[in-house]
Amino acid sequence: MNEQALLLLERVRMAKKAYRLSNNLIAQAANMSIGTVTNQMQGKYHLDIRVLMAILSLCNDLSAEWLMRGRGDMMYQVFVLQNSVTPKK
């Protein structure tokens, strides 16, 4: 595997850990066999786009930009304004 593929795999592993995703859950979401997903997670084969899409679909606030390119934060920041005040005109 080249360096970019290894970095992508490392981010996938980080996301799996952060979201507590099992290979079985990813395999079901990707409509793939668990053996294939496990082999990809072990670095035996390159990651399939179906695996990446399954992870993104299972993790609503996971940043695709971070997962694919390593840019930005892993999770989208959600800001909730409580008791917000409308400025006077």
Its pTM stands at 0.81
Judge whether residue 80 has pLDDT over 90.
no
Q: What is the per-residue pLDDT across 23-40, written as a single tens digit (0 to 9) for each?
A: 999 999 999 999 999 999
3-state secondary structure the chain: CCHHHHHHHHHHHHHHHHHCCCHHHHHHHHCCCHHHHHHHHCCCCCCCHHHHHHHHHHCCCECHHHHHHCCCCCECCCCCCCCCCCCCC
- Domains (ranges, CATH) in the chain? 3-69 (1.10.260.40)
One-letter amino acid for residue 65 of the chain: E
pLDDT digits (tens, 9 = 90+) for 59-72: 989 999 999 999 99
